Amino acid sequence: YLLEVESHLKKGETAKEKVSSLVMFFQEILTHNQELFCLLYDLTGLALWSDSFKDLLSTLFKELSNMIEEFILNNTCLKDNLKGYSSEKLARVILGAMFGVGIQVLLDPKDEGMIDSLNAIQIIFD
């Protein structure tokens, strides 16, 4: 999973293009491989009760955030209103927003426009 995310983060030249590639990857999984997200959310629930799962998921989220920071946020000129935040914090917000929208898509599959709300994460780079 991490290798797939990394390959999508390497696509494109600009931060916006890289985020767009990551968004398309999430949309593709949510459309064609929802079981992967369901498994991730199941593991997340277990992590709230089990230290071994907690360590596993904490590491996964850290690695994903680090990749977003490395491939998208480092060496990117951010809008003035974002300059007070570290790239580490912004990476966590981006990842959290994407996973949060992902669970909403799974919970309300009849709302066909919900998956498009992942595109809103790109507003950071406009």
Q: Distance between CA 65 and CA 69 in Å, rounded?
A: 6
Q: Are 5 and 25 in contact (CB under 8 A)?
A: yes
Q: Which amino acid is at 56?
A: L
Closest by CA position to 122, among listed 40, 2, 4, 26: 26
pTM: 0.88
Statement: residue 123 has pLDDT above 70: yes
When pLDDT is cut at 50, 70 and 90, the band that residue 81 belongs to is low
Measured between its terminal Cα atoms, the distance across the chain in Å is 28
Top pLDDT among 78 and 9 is at 9
Closest by CA position to 94, among listed 84, 102, 56: 102
pLDDT at 84: 78
